[in-house]
Every structure is written in structure tokens, then in C-alpha cells.
């Protein structure tokens, strides 16, 4: 590991140790999820943001910052999720009319 990366990693571990004393944040995705919730002003859904950060942490944070900078957005959490669905390729997942039901097939 390069010297700078090693220092960054050591600083990150020190930060986690310091937070562990006052908060229950023990991993990077939890930290990113909490930060995303704070940026979007949506602390109710912090666990959702943590779950999203498990797979795409840096992208979640970047998208949240971009949404927060947009002054026209009133509900930042909802707008973020709409962008997230579009990014992940399941933009129609919230539209109940377009979802298909799983029906058993007739074997007769």
C-alpha cells in the first residue's frame, strides 16, 4: 500500500474507533448511510440508505449530494429514490400498474 493510502486508512480506522464510543457506527456503509440521511434531511430512512450503501456507497453519497444541491427539489428523499431506481435499471418498480403478478400456471 502506498504511504498516503496507509495514512488515510489509519485515519479512517481512528475515526471509526472514536465514533464507536459515541455512536453505533462500526462500518463504512453505516457511516455513508447516516451521512446520506443527514444530507437529504431524511433520518427516518437511514437504514434504507445504509442498505443501499452496502453495494454502492460512493455512488449513493454522490447522488445524495447532487440532490441536496438542487434547490427546486422539495422532497429530497423521494427524488433521490426516483433517481436511484433509474440508475439501477428498475425505474418502473414503483408503478403498481406495470407490475405483473405471479400467478400459478394451470397444468390441466
Using CA atoms, how far apart are residues 5 and 44, in angstroms rounded to an integer?
A: 34
**Tens digit of each residue's pLDDT (9 = 90 or more) over 82-108:** 999 998 887 555 555 555 555 566 555
Residues with Cβ < 8 Å from 64, sequence gap 6 or more? 35, 36, 39, 40, 49, 80
The pTM score is 0.61
**Tens digit of each residue's pLDDT (9 = 90 or more) over 2-35:** 777 788 888 888 887 777 676 676 788 888 999 9
Contact by Cβ (8 Å): 81, 87: no
Amino acid at each position: 500500500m502506498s504511504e498516503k493510502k496507509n495514512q488515510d486508512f489509519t485515519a479512517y480506522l481512528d475515526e471509526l474507533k472514536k465514533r464507536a464510543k459515541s455512536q453505533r457506527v462500526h462500518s463504512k456503509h453505516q457511516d455513508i448511510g447516516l451521512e446520506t440521511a443527514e444530507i437529504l434531511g431524511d433520518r427516518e430512512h437511514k437504514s434504507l440508505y445504509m442498505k443501499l450503501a452496502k453495494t454502492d456507497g460512493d455512488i449513493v453519497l454522490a447522488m445524495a449530494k447532487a440532490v441536496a444541491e438542487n434547490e427546486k427539489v422539495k422532497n429530497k428523499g423521494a427524488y433521490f429514490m426516483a433517481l436511484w431506481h433509474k440508475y439501477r435499471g428498475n425505474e418502473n418498480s414503483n408503478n403498481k400498474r406495470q407490475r405483473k403478478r405471479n400467478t400459478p400456471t394451470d397444468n390441466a
